[in-house]
Amino acid sequence: MAPAVSSFFDFAAYLASSKALVEDALDKSLAPERPEKLRESMRYSLLAGGKRLRPILCLAACELAGGDSKKALPTAVALEMIHTMSLIHDDLPAMDNDDLRRGRPTNHKKFGDALAILAGDALLTRAFEMVALRSPGIPEERLIKVIGELSLVAGAPGLVGGQVVDLESEGKEVDLDTLEFIHLHKTGALLKACVICGALIGGANEDLLKALGVYARGIGLAFQIIDDILDVTASSEVLGKTAGKDLIADKTTYPKLLGLEESRIRADGLISEAKKALSPWHETSMPLLALADYITNRDR
Ligand code: GRG
């Protein structure tokens, strides 16, 4: 049985206070600089809201490893920058070609394709700067490991590889193995990096890193299954992005292959497995357990 989340843990308060910390750090990460138009475009997407799940996972994993989550904030910001970059690029006409993101026009709709591409590039490189040059009080060997994780997740072994297979698969019959490959690389890899990087900053030992790897695989895959489900069941207004997009782009999804009910059962099973991996840390893993539940229970 997966460990239950204690009724004494106030998840709503935890989420609100973590989100406030993250929003403040994101805001400060893009201080006045030139060219002003580039900064405006970067800020437009980075500060457009969003659930901030990735930075919060990073902070929670740092705490579980026994670290001070405030020291993980630059890494948490870096991860949200990589995520935001991937959303900007994903929305471009040459990729998913979308007009709506986080409840407002996509970056390229507001600033044009060229500046959207460059804002994404600047966010990606700023992410590495956050870790390498703006993370005081963290031993260098931990920062080097984090930079290694970021380089893997942002590149061919992570987001880019997943995106390429996703684009290649549009309009084709795709089997469950290929779909899992896409989800694990396009979405799961970054969620895993959030957990692992937070834990590395906090000084996690090998046992904890291994367990967090299992946890992260489960929540990563479940997150994308729920995303596929919400694409069918939720409105654009609630999602803040175009609903029904997978059908329009003729994408294979979990609901398409398994049906809605079976997809939800699969997501619940993955969350259960993810939580089970943390059972040796049941006293201290409450935030990560609750975040796992949040992933399947969310409505956007
Ligand atoms: C250019 C280096 C480089 C990489 C980009 C475009 C691309 C390669 C990858 C696409 C990755 C992508 C957009 C995956 C989808 C992940 C997903 C389900 C995002 C939605 O995440 P939420 O729901 O969004 O957490 P919010 O807005 O809440 O943050």
Distance (Å, whole) CA 215 – CA 292: 9
- Regarding beta strands 100-101 and 104-105, do their DSSP bridges make them parallel or antiparallel, or are they unpaired? antiparallel
Distance (Å, whole) CA 215 – CA 210: 9
Ligand 1, atom 6, residue with closest C-alpha? 90
Atom of ligand 1 nearest to the CA of 85: 5
Give the residue among 109, 99, 59 at the shortest CA–CA distance from 79. Answer: 59
Distance (Å, whole) CA 227 – CA 179: 13
Q: How many CB atoms lie within 10 A of CB 213?
A: 15
Share of the chain above pLDDT 70, in %: 98
Mean pLDDT across the chain = 95
Ligand 1, atom 15, residue with closest C-alpha? 187
Atom of ligand 1 nearest to the CA of 124: 2
Give the residue among 167, 92, 154 at the shortest CA–CA distance from 127. Answer: 154
Cα dihedral sign, 220-226-231-232: positive
**Is the C-beta atom of 186 inside 6 A of ligand 1?**
yes
Please say if the pLDDT value at position 2 is more than 80. Answer: no
Distance (Å, whole) CA 87 – CA 140: 30
Residues 6+ apart with CB under 8 A from 107: 41, 44, 45, 88, 91, 101, 115, 116, 119, 120
Mean pLDDT confidence for 192-213: 98
Residues, the chain, total?
A: 300
Task: Tell me what pLDDT residue 3 has.
Answer: 55
**Is the C-beta atom of 90 inside 6 A of ligand 1?**
yes
> 5-9, 43-47, 58-62: which range is least confident on average?
5-9
**Is the C-beta atom of 222 inside 6 A of ligand 1?**
no
Mean pLDDT confidence for 209-214: 98
Q: Which of 15, 77, 90, 185 to mutate to test the pocket of ligand 1 (most atoms within 8 A of CB)?
A: 90
* Rounded distance from Cα 12 to ligand 1 centre (Å): 24
Please say if the pLDDT value at position 259 is more than 70. Answer: yes
The distance in angstroms from the start CA to the end CA of the chain is 27
Q: Residue 247: pLDDT band by 50, 70, 90 thresholds?
A: confident
Tokens standing for residue 276: 């089970």
Which residue matches tokens 């031993």? 139
**Is the C-beta atom of 51 inside 6 A of ligand 1?**
yes
Give the residue among 128, 85, 126, 136 at the shortest CA–CA distance from 107. Answer: 85
* Rounded distance from Cα 194 to ligand 1 centre (Å): 13
Mean pLDDT confidence for 220-248: 93
* Rounded distance from Cα 169 to ligand 1 centre (Å): 17
Give the residue among 11, 86, 75 at the shortest CA–CA distance from 50. Answer: 86
Task: Tell me what pLDDT residue 150 has.
Answer: 98
Please say if the pLDDT value at position 7 is more than 60. Answer: no
**Is the C-beta atom of 89 inside 6 A of ligand 1?**
yes
Atom of ligand 1 nearest to the CA of 298: 23
* Rounded distance from Cα 87 to ligand 1 centre (Å): 4
The answer to whether the bond into 157 is cis (omega within 30° of 0) is no
Q: How many CB atoms lie within 10 A of CB 23?
A: 16
Ligand 1, atom 24, residue with closest C-alpha? 50
Q: Which domains does the chain have, with CATH numbers?
A: 11-297 (1.10.600.10)
| Virtual torsion, Cα 79, 83, 88, 94, nearest 10 deg | 120
Q: How far is CA 106 from CA 43, 82, 202, 241, in A?
A: 13, 16, 35, 9
Ligand 1, atom 8, residue with closest C-alpha? 160
3-class SS letters over 4-71: CCCCCCCHHHHHHHHHHHHHHHHHHHCCCCCCHHHHHHHHHHHCCCCCCHHHHHHHHHHHHCCCCHHH
Please say if the pLDDT value at position 191 is more than 70. Answer: yes
Mean pLDDT confidence for 92-117: 97
pLDDT in tens, 147-169: 999 999 999 999 999 999 999 99
**Is the C-beta atom of 187 inside 6 A of ligand 1?**
yes
Please say if the pLDDT value at position 238 is more than 80. Answer: yes
Global pTM value:
0.96
Ligand 1, atom 13, residue with closest C-alpha? 87
CB 167 within 8 A of CB 111: no
* Rounded distance from Cα 1 to ligand 1 centre (Å): 32
**Is the C-beta atom of 87 inside 6 A of ligand 1?**
yes
Q: For the chain, what is the total number of helices (H) and then of strands (E)? A: 16, 2
